[in-house]
């Protein structure tokens, strides 16, 4: 075999063009051509600068065709976080929980702020901590040792323009006794700051415990448990100085997020990715509710840019049923312009350079082993506008295979190899598979942990320390809902504690326990990931083929716990329920509109808040109510900047 052939084989062994989809925008090995979608990138950065200068929030929709480079663009934006002075948070839940928008967002924000790209100097969470330290010590006047006094002055009035994480590092260099003393002072001062900055709309005392835990390395893991699980054991609640039974509900999650935005040293870019996933799993009502929740969060704070990434067709579909007020709120759009043929060549050149450098080789011909003119011709011939398609083309040429030879199992193995197991993400992945593939129903959609009904069986999934509520819900499913069997699924490394109330209930009610191992967990996570990427058209497979493949893995995982014969075909959704739901919706709208009309006709009022007539659980109906009210000659609608809608009597 000649020298060139040997080199090509070594190059092929690295699989340089196998990955055409970015599965994690936080990853260190993303190869990007920065001229692709440059206009959209600059639009995002411009919006961030406007947020920074004006201290006002903003919303931007990033839309493009499947494979047009949305994920590459998000990864690029993330890498520029420190140079452009902003923090990046990504929200992409596997399970869309109705009525749990803020709890899910809070978890995603903490997860994102813990991630650190190799090009960043510090984790985003440490910049938040640094700002908290600096705010908290502005009015600290107690005398300390001379060395500590010098550092305190540097924190309060730094001589250089330092990244905020430096102040946190300075704080950690203090002796423990000094840190402990300052932690008593800092949270109180930061709480005062939050109250002033929010015009006293937030600032409850529990935030003091949250702030203290953020800057205490011993308490921080317990705070993460609280964010992830929504509640704590009595012992852990006591450690955080929270009342026994404290729960992070939607209102509390909303306030914690607002507080984080307020103490952030930089604007926060909150990216909502894979909107297609919401479109697959929410009806029109759910989508409207979700967007209303997002707008409420953004409009009631500052220092944040909300970025929604969506396929053009999906966002166009949403616009067809959104009310005018929501259309207006989400009307700021940046479109991905696609890729030029020469930029496609640049993708291949950059990947070649990167992977040959791994072999310790610098090539004179940066397109080797490809023929530059031949591959440019193919890009133009097939009119490729997508970076993903160019990467797939290069892989096909390099491996000598045809597009139709793509192998589902090899793609699954590829995803499995790159996946990092996470017990919380496993819970969501399994829940998603049960709902999507076996027609399961989430019995407690606003709950922190999943309890899924599949036919006459309830399945609870909980890997947390505090699992009593899940056990109680499983018992309730047997006694109140009359289900035949209950199953508790849990990581084998976290066995249930004996001689507890939970174990007593499990034994009394015959609840089955299914422990799974690391490999089983990763396989189901990979199956769900592949299904999600196929649904969003990031992977070019037949959705039914992928569903059947994932279903086989799921049934294999569950073993004889389920009657597998019942799940050979995917259950059909019942349309009659939807029709009844629409009838009920129209009735509620007419009742609210009639009440408003009556009050104005009888001269009871001349102006009123619409929220005074609409129960919070019916907030998703506001667009329809407004639409009906606009048709009335005697009433006019006025919408405030914060989203509050007023009804006033029209002077004729």
Sheet holding 304-311, edge to edge: 87-91, 268-272, 304-311, 58-64, 333-335
Half-sphere exposure (Cβ direction) of 183: Cα atoms closer than 13 Å:
24
User: What was the pLDDT predicted at 617?
Assistant: 65
647's enclosing H/E stretch is strand 645-649
Let me know: does 641 contact 299? Beta carbons within 8 Å. Answer: yes
- The residues facing 459 across adjacent strands are 452, 487
Q: Which residues contact 573 (CB under 8 A, 6 or more apart)?
A: none
Distance of alpha carbon 440 from its chain centroid, rounded? 22
Half-sphere exposure (Cβ direction) of 520: Cα atoms closer than 13 Å:
17
- Specify the 3-state DSSP secondary structure of 459: strand
- Specify the 3-state DSSP secondary structure of 414: helix
Half-sphere exposure (Cβ direction) of 241: Cα atoms closer than 13 Å:
15
> What value does the mean pLDDT take over residues 512-519?
93
Half-sphere exposure (Cβ direction) of 428: Cα atoms closer than 13 Å:
19
- Specify the 3-state DSSP secondary structure of 270: strand
Measured CA to CA, the distance from residue 397 to residue 1 in angstroms comes to 20
Q: Which residues contact 160 (CB under 8 A, 6 or more apart)?
A: none
User: What was the pLDDT predicted at 232?
Assistant: 87
> What value does the mean pLDDT take over residues 373-399?
88
Measured CA to CA, the distance from residue 202 to residue 421 in angstroms comes to 37
Q: How confident is the model at residue 457 (pLDDT cuts 50, 70, 90)?
A: very high
Phi, psi of 396 (to 5 degrees): -65, -40
- The residues facing 485 across adjacent strands are 457
- The residue assigned the tokens 């569903």 is 547
Spell out the alpha helix ranges (H) of 215-249: 220-229, 234-239
Let me know: does 71 contact 22? Beta carbons within 8 Å. Answer: yes
Which tokens go with 34? Answer: 């920065």
- Specify the 3-state DSSP secondary structure of 649: strand
- Specify the 3-state DSSP secondary structure of 407: coil
Q: Which residues contact 591 (CB under 8 A, 6 or more apart)?
A: none
Count CB-CB contacts under 10 A for residue 317: 15
Length, in residues, of the chain: 652
> What value does the mean pLDDT take over residues 334-344?
89
- The residues facing 637 across adjacent strands are 647
Considering 115-124, 312-321, 581-590, 595-604, the range whose residues carry the highest mean pLDDT is 312-321
User: What was the pLDDT predicted at 620?
Assistant: 63
Closest to 637 measured CA to CA, from 600, 584, 585? 600
**Percent residues over pLDDT 70 in the chain:** 92
Considering 124-138, 318-332, 383-397, 447-461, the range whose residues carry the highest mean pLDDT is 124-138
Q: Does residue 211 surpass a pLDDT of 90? A: yes
Measured CA to CA, the distance from residue 450 to residue 427 in angstroms comes to 8
Is omega for the bond preceding 407 within 30 degrees of 0, making it cis? no
Q: Are strands 268-272 and 333-335 parallel, antiparallel or unpaired?
A: unpaired
CATH superfamily of 38-118+266-335: P-loop containing nucleotide triphosphate hydrolases (3.40.50.300)
Distance of alpha carbon 397 from its chain centroid, rounded? 36
Closest to 216 measured CA to CA, from 233, 193, 241? 241
Q: Does residue 570 surpass a pLDDT of 60? A: no
Let me know: does 517 contact 532? Beta carbons within 8 Å. Answer: no
Q: Does residue 207 surpass a pLDDT of 90? A: yes
User: What was the pLDDT predicted at 31?
Assistant: 86
> What value does the mean pLDDT take over residues 627-650?
76
67 vs 571, residue with greater confidence: 67
Q: How confident is the model at residue 573 (pLDDT cuts 50, 70, 90)?
A: very low
Task: Tell me the per-residue pLDDT of 13-54, one tens digit each, with 9 for 90 and over.
Answer: 988 888 777 767 777 678 889 999 999 999 999 999 999 999
Sheet holding 512-516, edge to edge: 441-442, 450-454, 457-461, 485-491, 512-516
- The residues facing 270 across adjacent strands are 89, 306
Alpha carbon distance, N-terminus to C-terminus of the chain: 92
Q: How confident is the model at residue 482 (pLDDT cuts 50, 70, 90)?
A: confident
User: What was the pLDDT predicted at 635?
Assistant: 84
Torsion angle, alpha carbons of 585, 587, 592, 598, to 10: 160
Q: Does residue 386 surpass a pLDDT of 70? A: yes
> What value does the mean pLDDT take over residues 123-148?
93
> What value does the mean pLDDT take over residues 543-550?
93
Let me know: does 483 contact 457? Beta carbons within 8 Å. Answer: yes
Domain 574-649, architecture per CATH: Orthogonal Bundle (1.10)
Phi-psi region of 439 (alpha: psi -120 to 50; beta: other; left: phi over 0): left
pTM confidence score: 0.76
> What value does the mean pLDDT take over residues 513-542?
88
Count CB-CB contacts under 10 A for residue 598: 10
DSSP 82-114: TTTT-EEEEE--SS--TT-HHHHHHHHHHHHHH
Long-range contacts (CB closer than 8 Å, 24 or more residues apart) made by 287-290 = 287/318, 288/321, 288/322, 288/323, 288/326, 288/620, 288/623, 289/98, 289/99, 289/101, 289/619, 289/620, 290/96, 290/101
Let me know: does 363 contact 352? Beta carbons within 8 Å. Answer: yes
Q: How confident is the model at residue 563 (pLDDT cuts 50, 70, 90)?
A: low
Q: Does residue 596 surpass a pLDDT of 50? A: yes
Q: Does residue 141 surpass a pLDDT of 80? A: yes
> What value does the mean pLDDT take over residues 339-352?
91
193's enclosing H/E stretch is helix 176-197
Which tokens go with 612? Answer: 């005074």
User: What was the pLDDT predicted at 642?
Assistant: 53
Measured CA to CA, the distance from residue 496 to residue 401 in angstroms comes to 50
Task: Tell me the per-residue pLDDT of 71-124, one tens digit each, with 9 for 90 and over.
Answer: 888 889 998 888 899 999 998 766 566 678 898 899 999 999 998 877 788 999
> What value does the mean pLDDT take over residues 53-76?
88
Domain ranges of the chain: 3-17+340-403, 38-118+266-335, 124-263, 418-558, 574-649
Burial class (CB in 10 A: 0-12, 13-18, 19+), 583: exposed
Measured CA to CA, the distance from residue 345 to residue 387 in angstroms comes to 10
Measured CA to CA, the distance from residue 614 to residue 646 in angstroms comes to 12
Phi, psi of 304 (to 5 degrees): -140, 140
Mean pLDDT (the chain) is: 86
């Amino acid at each position: 075999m000649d020298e060139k052939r040997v080199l090509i084989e070594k190059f092929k062994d690295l699989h340089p063009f196998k990955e055409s989809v970015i599965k994690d925008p936080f990853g260190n090995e993303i190869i990007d051509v920065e001229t692709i979608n440059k206009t959209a990138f600059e639009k995002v950065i411009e919006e961030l600068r406007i947020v920074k200068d004006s201290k006002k929030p903003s919303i931007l929709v990033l839309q493009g065709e499947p494979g047009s480079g949305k994920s590459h663009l998000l990864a690029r934006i993330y890498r520029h976080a420190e140079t452009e002075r902003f923090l990046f948070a990504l929200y992409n839940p596997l399970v869309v929980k109705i009525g749990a928008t803020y709890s899910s967002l809070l978890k995603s924000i903490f997860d994102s702020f813990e991630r650190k790209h190799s090009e960043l100097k510090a984790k985003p969470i440490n910049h938040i901590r640094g700002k908290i330290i600096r705010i908290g010590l502005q009015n600290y006047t107690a005398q300390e040792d001379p060395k500590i006094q010098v550092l305190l002055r540097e924190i309060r009035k730094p001589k250089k323009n330092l990244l905020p994480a430096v102040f946190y590092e300075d704080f950690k260099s203090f002796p423990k006794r000094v840190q402990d003393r300052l932690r008593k002072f800092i949270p109180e001062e930061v709480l005062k700051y939050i109250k002033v900055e929010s015009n006293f709309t937030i600032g409850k005392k529990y935030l003091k415990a949250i702030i203290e835990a953020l800057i205490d390395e011993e308490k921080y893991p317990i705070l993460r448990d609280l964010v992830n699980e929504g509640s704590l054991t009595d012992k852990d609640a006591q450690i955080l100085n929270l009342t026994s039974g404290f729960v992070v509900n939607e209102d509390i999650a909303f306030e914690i997020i607002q507080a984080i935005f307020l103490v952030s040293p930089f604007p926060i870019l909150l990216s909502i990715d894979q909107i297609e996933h919401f479109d697959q799993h929410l009806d029109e009502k759910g989508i409207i509710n979700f967007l209303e929740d997002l707008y409420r969060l953004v409009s009631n704070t500052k220092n944040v840019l909300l970025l929604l990434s969506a396929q053009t067709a999906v966002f166009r579909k949403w616009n067809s049923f959104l009310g005018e007020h929501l259309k207006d709120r989400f009307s700021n759009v940046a479109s991905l312009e696609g890729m030029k043929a020469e930029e496609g060549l640049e993708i291949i050149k950059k990947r070649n350079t990167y992977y040959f450098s791994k072999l310790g080789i610098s090539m004179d011909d940066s397109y080797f082993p490809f023929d530059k003119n031949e591959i440019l011709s193919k890009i133009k011939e097939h009119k490729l506008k997508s970076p993903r398609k160019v990467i797939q083309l290069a892989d096909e040429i390099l491996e000598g295979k045809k597009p139709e030879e793509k192998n589902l199992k090899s793609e699954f193995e590829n995803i499995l190899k790159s996946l990092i197991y996470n017990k919380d993400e496993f819970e969501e992945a399994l829940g998603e598979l049960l709902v999507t593939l076996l027609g399961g129903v989430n019995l407690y959609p606003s709950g922190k942990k999943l309890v899924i009904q599949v036919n006459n069986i309830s399945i609870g999934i909980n890997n947390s320390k505090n699992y009593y509520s899940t056990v109680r819900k499983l018992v309730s499913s047997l006694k109140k809902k009359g289900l035949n069997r209950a199953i508790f699924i849990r990581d084998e490394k976290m066995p249930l504690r004996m001689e507890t109330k939970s174990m007593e209930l499990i034994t009394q009610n015959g609840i089955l326990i299914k422990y799974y191992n690391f490999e089983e967990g990763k396989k189901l996570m990979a199956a769900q990931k592949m299904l999600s990427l196929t649904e969003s058209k990031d992977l070019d497979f037949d959705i039914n083929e992928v569903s059947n493949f994932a279903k086989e893995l799921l049934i294999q995982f569950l073993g004889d716990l389920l009657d597998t014969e019942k799940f050979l075909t995917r259950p059909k959704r019942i349309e009659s329920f939807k029709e009844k739901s629409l009838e009920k919706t129209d009735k509620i709208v007419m009742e609210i509109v009639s009440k408003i009309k009556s009050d104005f006709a009888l001269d009871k009022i001349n102006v009123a808040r619409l929220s005074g007539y609409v129960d919070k659980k019916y907030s998703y109906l506001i667009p329809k109510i407004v639409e009906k009210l606009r048709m009335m000659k005697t009433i006019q609608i006025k919408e405030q900047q914060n989203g509050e809608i007023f009804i006033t009597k029209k002077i004729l």
